[in-house]
Every structure is written in C-alpha cells, then in structure tokens.
Structure 1
Amino acid sequence: MFKKLSEQFNRLQTGNLMRGAFQVIALRIAGVAFLFGITLFLTNFYSASQVGTYEFVRSALFLIGGFTMLGTDQAILFFSGRFSKPDQVGALFKVYFKMLLLLFVVSLLFLVIILSVPSSSYQAVFNDARSGSLLVKVGCCLFFYAVTLFNTEFFRAFNQHAKSELYRGIIKQLLFGIGVLFLFVLKQQQYLVEVFLGGFFFCAVVSSLEVFLNYKRFAVPKFKMPAIKLRTVLRATLPIAMSALGFYLLISIDVFFLKRYTNFETLAYYGTSIKIIFLISTVINVIGSFLAVRIADLYVSNHQELQRLLKTGVRVIVVFSTLLSMVLFVFSAEILSIFGAEYQQATLALRILILGHFMATLCGTTQVYLNMTKKQVVLQYILILAVIINCLLNWKLIPSYGIEGAATASAISVLFWNFAAVVWVYKKDRIKLFLH
C-alpha cells in the first residue's frame, strides 16, 4: 500500500507544479507547531478568560473575514492560470487591483454594519457587554486580514509557494508569539486581542510591498493590458466564496453559540480541543495536496486508474489517522492537562470530536475530489445543509450539554457532509472515495 502511494508521489513530483512540495509541507507543519507552542504558552500563562476572548475574536475574524474575502484568494489562482503567458502578467495585476478594491469596499461595508449595531443588541445576543467592542476591533482589522490572505495566495501565482507558506503559518504565528511573550513579561496580558489583530496589519503591509515589487518587476505597459470587467471577477469569485463560507461557518459557528450560552473560559477549553483535532484534518490535507493534480488529470482520462489512486490514498489516510486518533483518544486528559489542569474539563468533548473526525477520514479526500472534478456547486449545497444541521444541533444541545453539545454538533456535521459527498460521487461517477 505504501509502495503504491510512493509511486503516485513520484509521478506527481515529476511535474513543475509539485517541485518543492515537501518544502511547502515542512513549512506548513512548522506553522502548526508554532500554533501549538503559542497555545501552550497562552493556556499556561494567561487566564482562561483571556484565552477565551482571543478564541472568540479569532473565530469572529475567520467567519466575518470569510464573507469579506468573497473567494478572491482562490479566484486569483484561476486568473493566474488564465493569464499565464509572460505578456499577460499585466492583466493578472489588473485583476489583482480590482479584487483589492473589492476587498476594501466589502471590509468597509462590514465595519459600518458592525458599528451600526447597538451595543445592547450585542449584549442580548452574547450575554456579555465586551462582545460588541471585540467585534468592533475585528471590523477594524477586516481589510488587513483580507489583504494578508489575498496576498498569501497571490504569491502562488508566481510559483512562490514557499513564500506563501511563510506568510500563512510562520511569519503570522511568529509575530503573535513574540507579542504574547512581551505582553507576559510586561504584565499587560489584557492587550492580547490587539496584538493578535496587529499581526495582520504588519503582514498586510509587508506582503503588499512585496506584491508591489513583483508588479514593478513583471508588469507590462498599461496599453498592453486587456480590459477586465468587475462582473468577470465576480463570476469567478462568488462560486468559490460560497464553498469557503460553508467551511468558515462549520469551524466557527459553534464558538458563537457557546458564547451565547456559556462564557469565555468555556471558549478557551473548547478552542484548545479544536486545535488538537486540527492534527487529524492535517493528515487529509497533506495527502490531498499530493493527489489533487493527479485526480484532475485522471478524471478526464482514466477512471480505472483514478479509482486505484483514490483507494490507495484513503487507505494511507486511514492508517495515519487511526494511529493519531488512538493516541489522542486514549491520552485526551493527559494531553489537555499540558495546557493547564482546568482544560481537562474538555476531555469528553475532545473525545467526541476525535471520533467524529476519525470516522470522516474513512471517506477519503472528498473536498479535493469535488474541487478537482469541477463539482464545486455540489459541494456548496452539501455544505449549506451541513451548516444548517450544525446550527440546529448547537441550538438544541449547547444549552443542556455545554461543550459536549458543541462537540457533538460539530462531529455530526463533519460526518454528514463527508458521507453525503461520498454517496453523491458514487451515484454520479461510480467512484468509491470511501475506505474499501
């Protein structure tokens, strides 16, 4: 089994697109390591309330920022393929600037909306007076957050994948980690949220300067640039935005329900469990990143070979996820205790999440398959249903079961959209994504 997958990896590495893939994955793993290191420091040297406040802001930024992005971070890669010739680079930058303007307008719109909502409304929704001011800070950071993510993907258009990963996981986390350390030394932990958001301001400015240098280096005279209409950009971004929004909602909506019915301390415990679960999803993402291009090629040329590739891929995913899930499940309490004794309150919630996400790995690379075979619309509908199910379950379970209810809602939602995708693909393409 491992020999077969190795052969597939070797095939993938022969193409220029996969050159440096292992370097990119190493940087991504390093980014995850940074995140866990920062989380360990926070949970051991900051109060649970402060950590919970950070988790609330982080989730709000992901969710509102997901709406703000409008799929521009992925759509720019589509345009980079369309304008891939050297004399078309100017057109690609023209698209970039139109998308940048779009991000500014949408960010400003959300900021106005956030500021327009009375503080009493925020207090009524979240049962807390601080939530409104925290959301205002998120609104002020939206544009810089969006620009950071947008530039991070734009670097890939010039095959600067390592630089993209540096901004995605290393630079951003390193800045936050240094800020967290300084706040602790200066005994100013109350500014944790400001330091977290400030990192995006720095990344947005520096990455934009790098993009400008690329523009000066690659761009052709303006008269050679073809006209790019805004509606052309929107047609490319909106379908991608719908799928992205579904995932943003699935990973953040439970945090808002928890805040509605519990407190910031509970958010800290639950947020730490989510970060641990991220290790399991990383297994799927890493394998999927190797298989993505090959899936797209084989889908149009050889379904039999595609089935063999997917069969090998899902088996490797399950092997790694089984080992990882067993360790996490058996030693859940011990792992959580590393973050602080009080975090062991999330042991049952973590185990529920582990079971749900492990069972989802039995479905293989569902998201990658749907995206690589131009079935994004199907993925959108499935994710919309998953979000609705997630909201209903959170609404019913959290008031009675707290973080265990949130974990159950999350696990069921993840299982639903993966199983639904597997069933649809098998009926439509007669392709088995699941373990067999």
Structure 2
Amino acid sequence: MFNKLIQLSEKMKNKEMKSSLITLLLRAIGVLTLFLFTLFFNRNFEPSIVGDYEFTRMFLLVTGGVCILGTDISILYFSGFFRSENKFYKIKSLYFKVLTLSLGLCVLILTIFNIIFTEDSINDIFGNKNSYQLISTSLLFLVFNVWTLFNTEVLRALDQIVWSELFRNTFKFFPIFIGVLLLYNSNTPEVIVDVYIKGFVVLCLITTLFVIYLLKKIPKGIDGDIVTFKEIIRYSLPMCISSIIIYLLSTIDIALLRYFFGSSEVAFYALAIKLISVSGMIILSINVNVSPQISELNAKDKRKELESLLKKSSRIIFVLNFILCIFLLIFSEYILSFFGSEYLVAKKSFLILILGQFIIAGFGSVAVYLNMTGRPIVFRRILFFALLLNIGLNYVLIPHFGLVGAAITYVITIIFWNATSTVYIFRKDNIKTFIH
C-alpha cells in the first residue's frame, strides 16, 4: 500500500513537471508570436497608429480587469475545490453565473460612460482627438474581450492547458495579425485599431463554443446545488483588486505619455517595455516551478529546504537576467533600429529599463513567496503604496522628461515593491529571498 502511494506521488510530480514544461514552451511560442507581430506592425505602420493600438490595448486591460472581477483567477480555485468534493458539475452553474455578473458590469460601465462623458470631455482628458472614438468602441465591444478572457481561464480549469495557453498568448494575435497584413499599404491604416477591438468577437465565439462543448461532457449533478453570487464575489473580489493595481501600474505611464506627447511616444515606450518583458518571462518561468514547492515546504515547516530552494532560484533568476541584460545593453541600438530607425529615440529609456531589470532580478521570488505563504493581503498593500508612488512620479517626471521620465518611474516603482517585500520577508521570517 505504501509503495503504491509513493508511485502515485511520483506520477503526480512528473505530471506537474510535464505541465510546467508544456506551459513554458507555449509561452515561449506566444512571445515569438508577439515578437513577429510587433516587428511587422512597427516597421510598416506609423508610430502614431502603433501608439493608438497600445493605448487601446491597455484601456481594455484595465476595464476588462474590472468587469471580470477576479473570476479569471478564482475559477482555478473553485475548480480544484469542486474536484476535491467530487462536485465538479458545479463548474457549469459557476460559468454562467460569472458570465451574467461580468457582462452586467460591462453594460453598466458602458451606460455610465454614455451618460456622464461627452466626446469633447474624453478627448480633453486623454489629450487626442480620436480618444473618444477609441474608448467608446472599446467599451461597446468590451463584453467580448471579457468573455474571451474568462473562457481562456475556464479552459485551464477544465484541464485544457494547451488550448488555454494557445488562446492566451498566441491565437489572440491572429485577428489583428490578419488585419495588419490586409491593411498593409492601404489608404486607411488607422482602421487596424478597430480590427483589434472587433477581433474579440471572433475569439469569443470560438472559445465559447469550445467551453460549452466541454461543459456538456461533464455529468449532471444535484439540482439546486449551485454556486451563489455571494460566494463568487467573496473569493474573486480580493484577487480583482490586486489585478487592477498591477494593470494600473502598467497603464498610467501610457495614458500620460499619450496626453502630453501623443501616440508616437507611446509606441516608442511600449516597444522598450515589450523587449524588457522577456526578462519578466525568465522570472515567471522559474516561479512556475518553485511556487508549489514553496507552498509545500512552508506548510511542512521545512525551513532549511525552503531557504535552499529560494537561494537556488534567486541565483538562477539573477544569472539568466544578467546574461540577457548584458546582451540588451550591448546591442540596444541595433535592436531598437531593427523595428524602425524612428524607435532609436527610445534608447535612453530602454537603457534605464535594462538597468532597472538587472537590479530587480536580484530580489528573487518575493511576490511568489508572499502569495504561497498565505500573505496575499500583505502583498496587495505593498502594491497599493507602489501604485500611489507610481502615480505621483509619473505626474512629476513625464511632463518634463517624457520617455525617460516614464522609464525612471517604472524602475523606481518596481524596485520599491520588490525591496519592500524583501525587507518584510526578512524581518518577519528571517528568510533571504534575494541573491546572496
């Protein structure tokens, strides 16, 4: 009996490792897809159009995060909980209740927007003449964006990890990629932003059909045994708050750059951020593997093993990021010009971001440690103060220094929450998450 349990445990570990490797591979494919799209888009379209696309993408990210109410994360919790109680059939009622809740919020936001704001007021707030058109169209089709996002996470909850990752990181670029190819050298290249927004209709239809097909295969359960709206909000709202803070941290600089300097500056800055995000993928890849181990070792109070794991992970993160940052520093000018000579204007801000990423890599897996040791509320509070710092610095630095000001703010903000988390962990647990 004992040997069978050991064999089952080993199988589960192998399954988790296999899933992690598949996830990392699919995310790498997603990064490659994003790189190819960005390369073609930036080289063949005006920076102002690229900037409008980035502004719209970030606006949908924040408003979508509000409307989905954290259910894209809590669905994974609910699916695991239902399985543990042999009540996985409850995922069906959960799916439709979440849709009702999220879609209702989309309609509410659209209604409030149309009642309160005018075209002139929106254009004044965001500083461009086409801001109202971009925002109103985004809100009109927001429901499809939110629905697609939720469907993507539901696929993961239904153990369709491959399809979930493909829709999240690869397939979502297909509609706009096709649009870019069709509108290449056309007389109306600005239509590409509308193509991006309305492309979620297609993605929503495909993912919904896929999800409903899978839900129908789940055996029926007990009538009346359903999840209430109260339960959904109770578990989802805290996650929603954290997600919105993170979205805002990556959005405020975009909005202010567009307001003070126009869409072209947004395009230059967004490219630098995307290039730096490769470093973030390295950190995420390491954290994917260490997260469950941190949780397990902490629960079993195996302090030495936990310290050893964090020490190893911090060193791997630092070394890999060091190599990447050196490469980016040496070839920064060539890399930026590869997307178009006009993007060389972002060189100073790009160098600042590289330096900041190098420093951040030294802090290790602080966010994962706090979340995996049962202190997400602490991390959320740290992020909230980081958001206040980010807003203040952006309003002071961007009007005077433009791209450089945005980059400095980004670096200071992310160093702040990493350093604060590191100090908190060391003082409370006497654990070193940083490189040492």
Sort the TM-score into its range (normalised by shorter chain): over 0.9
Counterpart for residue 27 of structure 2: 28
Q: Distance in 2 between matches of 1:141 and 1:431?
A: 47
Q: Distance in 1 between matches of 2:401 and 2:420?
A: 27
- Please show how residues 277-426 of structure 1 align to structure 2 within 5 Å: 277-301=276-300, 302-426=302-426
Structure 1 residue 127: Cα displacement: 2.1
- Please show how residues 239-254 of structure 1 align to structure 2 within 5 Å: 239-254=238-253
Counterpart for residue 229 of structure 1: 228
Counterpart for residue 261 of structure 1: 260
1:120/1:250 CA distance change after superposition, 3 Å: same
Counterpart for residue 97 of structure 2: 98
Counterpart for residue 7 of structure 1: none
Counterpart for residue 154 of structure 1: 154
Counterpart for residue 57 of structure 2: 58
Query: Residue 128 of structure 1 aligns to a residue in which SS?
Result: coil
Query: Residue 121 of structure 2 aligns to a residue in which SS?
Result: helix
Gaps of 5+ in 2: 1-9
Letter matched to residue 149 of structure 2? L
Q: Distance in 2 between matches of 1:394 and 1:371?
A: 28
Counterpart for residue 5 of structure 1: none
1:13/1:232 CA distance change after superposition, 3 Å: closer
Letter matched to residue 405 of structure 2? G
1:53-100, CA deviations, whole angstroms, 9 ceiling, x for partnerless residues? 111101111122121221110000110111015841221221221111
Q: Distance in 1 between matches of 2:429 and 2:96?
A: 39
Q: Distance in 2 between matches of 1:286 and 1:392?
A: 32
Kindly indicate whether residue 36 of structure 2 is the aligned counterpart of residue 37 of structure 1: yes
Structure 1 residue 186: Cα displacement: 4.7
The answer to whether the 8 A contact 2:276-2:354 is kept is yes
1:421/1:86 CA distance change after superposition, 3 Å: closer
Structure 1 residue 17: Cα displacement: 3.2
Q: Distance in 2 between matches of 1:73 and 1:16?
A: 23
The answer to whether the 8 A contact 2:397-2:405 is kept is yes
Aligned residues: 426
Counterpart for residue 3 of structure 2: none
Select between 286-295 and 172-181 the one with higher mean Cα deviation.
Answer: 172-181
The answer to whether the 8 A contact 1:31-1:173 is kept is no
Query: Residue 19 of structure 1 aligns to a residue in which SS?
Result: helix
Q: Distance in 2 between matches of 1:280 and 1:243?
A: 22
1:91-138, CA deviations, whole angstroms, 9 ceiling, x for partnerless residues? 122122111111101111121223231122112212222111111111
The answer to whether the 8 A contact 1:114-1:135 is kept is no
Letter matched to residue 268 of structure 1? A
Q: Distance in 2 between matches of 1:12 and 1:219?
A: 26
The answer to whether the 8 A contact 2:90-2:225 is kept is yes
1:136-168, CA deviations, whole angstroms, 9 ceiling, x for partnerless residues? 111122211111111111111122111110101
Using structure 1 for the length normalisation, give the TM-score: 0.94
1:120/1:321 CA distance change after superposition, 3 Å: same
Gaps of 5+ in 1: 1-10
Letter matched to residue 370 of structure 1? L
Q: Distance in 1 between matches of 2:20 and 2:83?
A: 21
The answer to whether the 8 A contact 1:243-1:380 is kept is yes
1:85/1:381 CA distance change after superposition, 3 Å: closer
Q: CA RMSD in A?
A: 1.7
Structure 1 residue 12: Cα displacement: 10
Q: Distance in 2 between matches of 1:297 and 1:109?
A: 42
Counterpart for residue 113 of structure 2: 114
Structure 1 residue 39: Cα displacement: 0.8
Q: Distance in 1 between matches of 2:210 and 2:105?
A: 23
Structure 1 residue 187: Cα displacement: 4.6
Q: Distance in 2 between matches of 1:196 and 1:368?
A: 33
The answer to whether the 8 A contact 2:176-2:192 is kept is no
The answer to whether the 8 A contact 2:87-2:221 is kept is no
Kindly indicate whether residue 150 of structure 2 is the aligned counterpart of residue 167 of structure 1: no
Letter matched to residue 427 of structure 1? R
Query: Residue 88 of structure 1 aligns to a residue in which SS?
Result: coil
1:171-215, CA deviations, whole angstroms, 9 ceiling, x for partnerless residues? 112332122111116554221111111222211111111111111
Letter matched to residue 347 of structure 1? K
Query: Residue 297 of structure 1 aligns to a residue in which SS?
Result: helix
Letter matched to residue 18 of structure 1? M
Q: Distance in 2 between matches of 1:154 and 1:147?
A: 10
Counterpart for residue 196 of structure 2: 196
Letter matched to residue 296 of structure 1? S
Q: Distance in 1 between matches of 2:239 and 2:351?
A: 32
Letter matched to residue 103 of structure 1? S
Query: Residue 159 of structure 1 aligns to a residue in which SS?
Result: coil
Letter matched to residue 325 of structure 2? S
Counterpart for residue 128 of structure 2: 128
Using structure 2 for the length normalisation, give the TM-score: 0.94
